Amino acid sequence: MRAVVIGAGLGGLLAACALAERGFEVQVHERLPYPGGRFTNLEFKGYQLSTGALHMIPHGRKGPLGEMLRELGAEVEILPSEPQAVFRVGGRDYEADEVHAVLSAREKLLAVKLLAMMKLGRAEAGEESYAEWLAKHMRSETVRRIADAFTGWCLSLRAHQVPAREVLAQVANLARLGETGVPRGGCRGVVDALVEVLESQGGELVLGSRVLQVSGEPWGYAVHTQEGRLEAEVVVSNAGLRRTARMAEEVLPAEYAAELAGLRSVPGVKISVACSEPVLGHSGVVFTPDASRVCGMNEVSNADPELAPTGKHLLMAHAAPAGGDLRREAELALQDLHRLIPRFRERCRVLAVQTYRGEWPVNHAPSGTHLSPATPAGGLYIVGDGVKPEGWMETEGVAMGVRQMLEHLAAAEKSSEI
Amino acid sequence: MRARVTERCVGCGACLPFCPAEAIQVMGRAEIDASRCTGCGMCARYCPNDGVEVER
Ligand SMILES: Cc1cc2nc3c(=O)[nH]c(=O)nc-3n(C[C@H](O)[C@H](O)[C@H](O)COP(=O)(O)OP(=O)(O)OC[C@H]3O[C@@H](n4cnc5c(N)ncnc54)[C@H](O)[C@@H]3O)c2cc1C
Ligand code: SF4
Ligand code: SF4
């Protein structure tokens, strides 16, 4: 059987490799001259910036992405971060299990209990937001800020913008898997390894080829690119929700297409900084609850020195915007960095300020959306960060979405719908 | 000016490293220094958002 994958982002490449492994004849069409989408390197002045991601694999070697890479035979070394994460409060860094030290005696007790419940996956929530849920248990402004920094870094949303259930499931997964890592070579290390797997399985990656439309045929689909027409029994779109709705308008029920088109993507701001010396000193996340826009920072060159020129370091900060004017949000984030990093002017130089929104966002759908990768059109699937199952953040969610897609496909094959 | 930033630019910076003339600055949106731009088209080629058009 033939499969066409639209887009060579992380979801598209994972799906393509898995399909090739299962014996499909796979062609991946990517409109850009490079694969990887928002998960590849952007070399600038000797530093490995990225098109999107902060070069981190949220659950390290043991998470869904690490596991899937291993299953596919993609050779990626994931370097675990030590410590996994710290919280910078009042100019001091606290490990996750110690951050309650900044609270009052009464709050401390509550916070320790609450966190233990969350980590064990025993905390329960209804339909409320994470901020509302927290407020039911504790009235601490500091705790609210810590929660905002956490969701801001992981999801580019503040605690009041995410369902509590989603965050609780994510925290339980984070605690259970207990690791965060940086792929050697950065995001591109992962993408290069996947392209190698794809090609070794006989799959084909066509760069600079934009898919315009997907139309129905009695035996499957015709995929129309700028260059011509392809035929396939299975089509996997990694082009995002709204683009997929438009491209496949002819084969999707109008109601479903409208649902896709109506989902809002999540914006974000990333700042990459060149440092003359290590300013964080480790490769874990530094959450920044004191800052107005920046939610966290990392310094991935401490994990893989090749991500910066010899002796130099690459620091990246992520900000979850509070308003729609991203230029203004970026300016506020820059001001934060000057306050958060001692002797910023002496040691640091801003390499790039990157903003994400619309069809090149941090997330194609807000966390907690849980759209299925199977569309109402049999044989047409969606992968990527618009279709993440509950409890899985960032690229871990992308990998889990691909896994779900493969399950749907296997079920359809079994009942000979395809 | 040869290269023109459009409404579709999101400010993602993907064009930044590819400009041989170092004519691009990004802050919420790309800005192109017309006195430096040679119209080579590299920015448009690497832009994921059709955010820049280059006149031929
Ligand atoms: C600032 C920022 C920081 C992040 N940090 C992290 C992090 O540290 N760790 C982490 O795990 N995740 C992080 N993420 C999230 C991660 O980058 C994304 O979840 C992931 O890259 C999304 O992959 P995707 O499969 O949705 O594909 P995408 O990256 O969206 O790729 C889709 C591809 O499809 C192509 N395409 C689109 N339309 C067409 C068409 N019509 N024809 C052909 N091709 C088409 C596009 O050109 C693109 O290459 C971050 C994201 C951002 C923006
Ligand atoms: S022109 Fe394109 S690549 Fe450059 S910042 Fe704008 S959207 Fe990104
Ligand atoms: S056309 Fe060429 S010189 Fe002009 S801004 Fe784009 S990349 Fe730079």
| Atom number of ligand 3 nearest to Cα B52 | 6
Copy the structure tokens of residue A335: 């001001």
Mind listing the pLDDT tens digit for each residue in A214-268? 999 999 999 999 999 999 999 999 999 999 999 999 999 999 999 999 999 999 9
Of B8, B17, B26, the CB nearest to A353: B26
- State the CATH class of domain A2-40+62-78+187-264+365-414: alpha beta
Residue partners of A330: CB distance under 8 A and separation at least 6: A269, A271, A319, A353, A355, B11, B27, B28
Provide the shortest C-alpha distance from residue B52 to chain A (in Å): 14
B49 contacts in chain A (CB < 8 Å): 358-360
3.40.47.10, 3.40.50.970, 3.30.870.10, 3.90.660.50: which CATH number matches A268-356? 3.90.660.50
Of B16, B28, B45, the CB nearest to A33: B45
Compute the distance between CA of residue A92 and CA of residue A105 in angstroms, rounded to an integer.
19
Mind listing the pLDDT tens digit for each residue in A133-154? 999 999 999 999 999 999 999 9
Cis peptide bond N-terminal to A83, omega within 30: yes
A353 contacts in chain B (CB < 8 Å): 11, 13, 26-28
What pLDDT, on a 0 to 100 scale, did the predictor assign at position A97?
Answer: 84
Cβ atoms A54, A316 nearer than 8 A: yes
Would an 8 Å CB–CB cutoff place B49 in contact with chain A?
Answer: yes
Question: Is the pLDDT at A317 greater than 90, yes or no?
Answer: yes
Q: Which ligand is nearest to the CA of A359?
A: 1
Mind listing the pLDDT tens digit for each residue in A17-63? 999 999 999 999 999 999 999 999 999 999 999 999 999 999 999 99
Q: What are the boundaries of each domain within chain A?
A: 2-40+62-78+187-264+365-414, 85-177, 268-356
Domains of chain B in start order, with CATH, are 2-49 (3.30.70.20)
How many other C-beta atoms are found inside a 10 Å radius of the C-beta of residue A405? 24
What sign does the CA torsion over A286, A157, A331, A316 have? positive
- Interface contact A352-B28, CB threshold 8 A: no
DSSP string, A78-105: EEE-SSSEEEEETTEEEETTTGGGGS-H
In this prediction, residues A266-293 reach a mean pLDDT of 98
The reported pTM is 0.98
- Interface contact B11-A326, CB threshold 8 A: yes
Quote ipTM for the complex: 0.97
CATH fold label, A85-177 = Polyamine Oxidase; Chain A, domain 2 (3.90.660)
How many other C-beta atoms are found inside a 10 Å radius of the C-beta of residue A186? 28
Copy the structure tokens of residue A145: 């800020």
Interchain CB contacts (distance < 8 Å): A and B:
63
- Do A85-177 and A268-356 come out as alike in CATH topology? yes
